Structure 1
Amino acid sequence: MTDAPASFFPDTTGHPRVYRLLRAACEPTGTATNVDARDLPPFGEVLEHAITAKMLCLLTDWLDRHGHTVSLTRPMQQFLRGQRRLNTHRWRTHHREAARVITILAGCGVKAAAINGIAHATLLYRADGSRQSSDVDILIPAEAADVAVNALTNCGYYATGRRPTALHRDFDDPLIPGLTLDLSARLAHTGDPAHIASVLNRRTPAPQHYAHLEPLPILSHDDGFLHTLARVAAQRRWPALADALRYSAHSPTPPPPVAVVPDAALTGWHLLRSCWPQLPERPPLSNGGEGDAASITTRPPETGGRP
């Protein structure tokens, strides 16, 4: 592993110990850590970066798993675990509402799938409260936007003013007072309507970690993986990096050969490998490539995208 902060994460450039700690927190459960207690930076500095990066709960999970929480003061332990319990409550509330929204849209003939944080919290983080997200993102076909907005407006949502497909609903909950819903007709690696339709046809139910929670349609493994890699390239944020790393860990071993990968996803994979060079040279997709790659801009992985 490289030890110097990666230049594409400017929030930790010049803070190598913070960089190593946040990188370790991105790694899935069961990964051996190369950060020991003597290498931990001052915790106030860590908190600032973790909160800014929306990594506080994932950092808390890492500290617990590796026995570092006990070295913190009791008030700090209570604060961190309280934040994780709050995030678990937020996730459950958002999960129920995302499932309700998708059911409403299905009743209007609109196919939809949960994407980004709300989907990844269940698929990649076992619904354990470590994956933070502040809103709910739903993928829909572009031509269905007006129907979707009208249906949800009739069910208690109202426009936020940012754009017509950004909606909000108030809750009678003192901890989670409301939810912002972002309806999107694009993924990070493609906005082609025919490709989005194919992606929605390949939806799959999220894992059921709790029997009392409603099923949640999400993207298939490969579609979610490619979207997440492209988000790494475009946004260069720690949560997307952690998501992509977990997608890689959930891929088949050994992976099939990848024929064609979208440019943006390929760039994201190279950025991921700059932190974890032991990863394979090509993204380990389940099906060896994208199902309808001809509908998007692509190039063979041998040519490589560069950060």
Structure 2
Amino acid sequence: MNTPEQSQLGRASAFVDQYDASLLFPIPRADKRAEIGITGAAPFFGADMWSAFELSWLGPRGKPQVALAHFTIPCETRNIVESKSFKLYLNSFNNTRFDDVDAVKARLRTDIAEAVWRGTEPAGSVPASIGVTLIGPDLFDQQPVHELDGLNLDRLDIECTQYTPAPELLRATPNEQPVTEVLVSNLLKSNCLVTGQPDWGSVQISYTGDQIEQGGLLQYLVSFRNHNEFHEQCVERIFMDIWTRCKPLKLAVYARYTRRGGLDINPFRTSHPQALPRNIRTARQ
């Protein structure tokens, strides 16, 4: 079983510019989910939406090609992919020839699907449900920038003293009628699980249920500031803490993290089936 400590994180890495799918480093989701009380089926749906800004390959005549890429990895896959390994894998396309953009897209989908489902039993029994979209230079200037919609918690003048996750800060006020709110903050920060390097993000929390006390929620989000965990794991921890402490009828948590190494990761988790958010970057991304 792969562990984060066995990955290329924090190590000098050789630059590989010829296609190599073995560079992808999957890490099982199960261990970190067990830490937050998930031992069977998760109480959420969703996906990890990745954007890649440094993708290039060679056309059949050797001319370099470039594109932006969006990847959608369902949260029910067995594994996440460690982000540095994802970057190294994408770099391996740099001096590799492909017949056309469809060949690149197919190769990406096949390799990523194999990595995120690796170890699933019986072998070959899982769908290759990985979304891959490539955006060529002719559409670059049509790519939107938009901040997360919702009431901004950062307007609150609060004291913050806790910088490791403190779910006890979460409170909900019983209401005769459930409320529906969308709350956002740009103050989410956590650190890489292995290297301790900072990860900056914005988060959107949508819920229906007893009203969540906004000051406590903002203090709780700030409490991730010195916490070491991967993006996907932080979002699932936030979801589970709100789900168990505030007991909403419905809940969705969506975070957009700033890019590192040409990649950003944007996990979305929801208690009820719904369409994924559009993968639109924020200004900081």
Give TM-score scaled by structure 2 length. 0.26
Task: Name the structure, 1 or 2, with higher relative contact order (CA <8 Å, separation 6+).
Answer: 2
Q: Which of the two has greater helix per residue?
A: 1
Select the structure that is richer in strand.
Answer: 2
